[in-house]
Chains A and B, each alone.
Chain A
Amino acid sequence: MTETALETAGLGKRYGRSTWALRDCTLSLPTGRIAALVGPNGAGKSTLLHLAVGLLRAQEGSVRVFGRDPRTDRAALADLGFVAQETPLYRDFTAAELDRVGRRLNRRWDGALVRERLAQLEIPADRPVGRLSGGQRAQVALALALAKRPRILLLDEPIASLDPLARREFMQTLMGAVGETGTTVLLSSHLLEDLERACDHLIVLRRARVQLSGAVDELLEQHRTLIGPRLPEGTAIPGVDRIVRASHTDRQSTLLVRAAVGAEPAVLPGEGWRAQEISLEDLVLGYLAASADPADPAGRADGERELVRR
């Protein structure tokens, strides 16, 4: 059952001679997950999605969708649904016309599903989509992507430009569709609060690198905030694999730590320390801040270094 929907190994994409949009990207997304791809603008989110659907060619590494290469194996494309940023539909076409186009261009196409969804949402199928609201246009794009009955659906910032109500309605439609079909979903966003209840898998990108990737439950279980008296320089903490982020005052140290594999997550450095569970938002922000040092974008050791430096 835990088949892999999307898998990348050492994936890298370079623009021009030296600008890497994505590098050393190795991750695996099991089927049935709803994954959030988060990171600041320019982190490489769109690049990763375009590589995954075969719209870009990588210079390094590989990407597989259900075991197939999306650039060379046409069978892979039937499994893929993609909604690009800003939902680029032909604006002079109506939803009904786009549905007909889709049927002609795809081997598998469920047009009844499109009509049903749009009727449910009271979106006029006979009006050019350029004259629909942003929320309605996003719903048309989602309905068209779902009509392929994709096994994996990739969405690039689908809700970023929508107002809160349209955002909510979009997530409702998406969650309902996943409940019906079990489709794997990967959606990029910089709006974390909308994703917290929807996503059970997390991928954090920053500066073209994967900072963190895994099941949300497991990631939250592995991380703790430790608060205690100021730590002496260079102190190693048993059971801690990595200090993701450290901040200090003259008396107090606050550490975001990742537990070593197999260790109890709440191992404390000593007397006077306490461990706090961490929210998804704190986790993401912790990892984004941890690698803020441009001298060390990969950021494996910067937490420790920070501890030594101050």
Chain B
Amino acid sequence: MIEFVLDGRSRVATYMQLVLQVKQALRVGLLRPGDQLPRVREVAQTLAINPNTVLKAYRELELEGLAAGRPGVGTFLVDTLAGPSLEHHADLRADLVGWLEKARAAGLSRDDITALIETTMRSMWDDRAAPAAAAAVREEGHLT
């Protein structure tokens, strides 16, 4: 079971904050198919929010095929957002911690590290996207 927490400063609608929190929990494996979501009444009471807001969030999850309501019992998760990659997370995280320690030892600040990671990711993804886009253009050329 998860406990919902709202971000008081966020401009994101309250129901959407609940939806995003469930999705995040599914992505990292904190929630799995078969798990029950907290009851509407409990969420409304704990967060002091309108029960209709909780219902709206659960309906949204149902519409997206992630959850299903069982009348009189509650709302249960039926699908996950965690890809098959989830099992590799622990290993990758260990590698990343090692790399971060190396970067810090080399004198990089937190901002330096973030910048380095972002620029590296951008160039990697752009390099991959570019040939794909070119291929798409060629494809289209053939069709016309």
Contacts and interface: CB of A to CB of B under 8 A. Distances in A.
Interface of A: 32, 34, 168, 171-176, 178-180, 182, 197-200
- For the residues of A in contact with B, the DSSP-based class is helix
B51 interface: yes
Contacts of A174: 48
B50 A176 contact: no
Most buried by B among A176, A199, A200: A176
A151 to B, nearest CB: 16
Interface of B: 6, 14, 39-54
Given A176-B41, A179-B40, A179-B41, A197 B48 contact: yes
Contacts of A175: 44-45, 47-51
B99 to A, nearest CB: 41
21 contacts: A34-B52, A172-B48, A175-B45, A175-B48, A175-B49, A176-B42, A176-B44, A178-B44, A178-B51, A179-B39, A179-B40, A179-B41, A179-B42, A179-B44, A180-B41, A197-B6, A197-B48, A197-B49, A198-B48, A199-B50, A200-B53
A200 B46 contact: no
B10 to A, nearest CB: 12
Contacts of A198: 48-50
Nearest to A196: B14
Interface centre among B44, B52, B54 (most CB of A within 10 A): B44
A176 B45 contact: yes
Contact of A171 (B6, B40, B48, B51): B48
Contact of B45 (A32, A172, A199): A172
B117 to A, nearest CB: 33
Contacts of A171: 48
A30 to B, nearest CB: 11
B56 to A, nearest CB: 9
